[in-house]
Amino acid sequence: MGPASSLPLWFNTAMPSAPRRLSLSQRFALGLLLLANLGVFGVLGVLALSGGWFGAEALAAPLADAVPVSPSPTFPVLALSPTPVTFPSPIATASRDALTLGIENTPTPLPSSTTLPIDTPPPAPELPAQALITGIVGRRQTYSLSCEARSAADWAGYFGFDIDELDFVSRLPLSDDPDTGFVGDMNGAWGQVPPYSYGVHAMPVADLLKQYGVKARARRGLEWDAVRAEVAAGEPVIVWVVGHVERGGERVLYTASNGHTTYVARFEHTVIVIGYTEDTVTVLDNGWRYTRSLETFLEAWQPLGNMAVLYVGP
């Protein structure tokens, strides 16, 4: 007997049959039904949220007891028309702090600082066209080469100092450098240059005058206007010239044994300037007073470097 014949009859009748597949029309009808259900539930949800269903009266009851609120005021609406705004054109020369739109940047002026007074010297007074010093006395020099001592004694006498020429000669330092002391013999021949008998330059003369109490100052490279100013102020000036204020002098570059180099000139001599005009110069030479043209004086003064001794008193 096979397996099927061994099962009871009730078993065969109770077994469910295999599921049947829905036809295309049945599946379409089922989809429409599902969409209809979804639409119904959507409408019900909207009604519930709007209060139009599910106890709308209950929701309205509490609102009946509420205090009425006045409606919000209504403000008139103004009709505004836009006003055109004109912006300035970009300024090419605006500073770096100007807006990038090109609007010209006008810097705020800084407060002006207080100007302090400046103490400026008064302008130099205009020198007179001419001047002449009187009251100065000149004497002849004792030795052939003692002109510097004679000029120093006469010049100091004008300022009230009594100096003997020979005493001055004896106190001058000796050296082969004329910028340091007297070179050679006081009675040597005039017209030589160091290391032979020569004379002495301005610095040692001024230094010795100070020892007598005279406020003297040696200068080299002095300008003519400075001499004029001294004379115009009533103060004579000792100057180093060639000859008796003559042209044609030549300077010589000389180096002394101490290594110092300076300019010297043949017929080195000293005179005292006591007057001037626009084109002349008056000098005191020992006891002799004479006048030279300004051109001649400047040529005689230049070879020795425009040396001079000034009074810096009182």
**Would you say the C-alpha torsion 125, 131, 133, 138 has a positive or negative sign?**
positive
For residues 100 and 159, the model is more confident at 159
Least confidently predicted of 98-112, 136-150, 180-194: 98-112
- Among 44-48, 65-69, 226-230, 307-311, the least confident range: 65-69
Helices 202-211 and 147-158 cross at an angle (nearest 10°) of 50
Establish how many alpha carbons lie within 13 A of residue 161's alpha carbon, considering only the half-sphere containing its beta carbon: 22
**Mean pLDDT along residues 179-194:** 97
User: Rounded to an integer, what distance in angstroms lies between the CA atom of residue 199 and that of residue 190?
Assistant: 9
Domain boundaries along the sequence of the chain: 131-311
Q: Which CATH class is domain 131-311?
A: alpha beta
What are 134-183's pLDDT values in tens digits? 999 999 999 999 999 999 999 999 999 999 999 999 999 999 999 999 99
Quote the pLDDT of residue 33: 72
pTM: 0.62
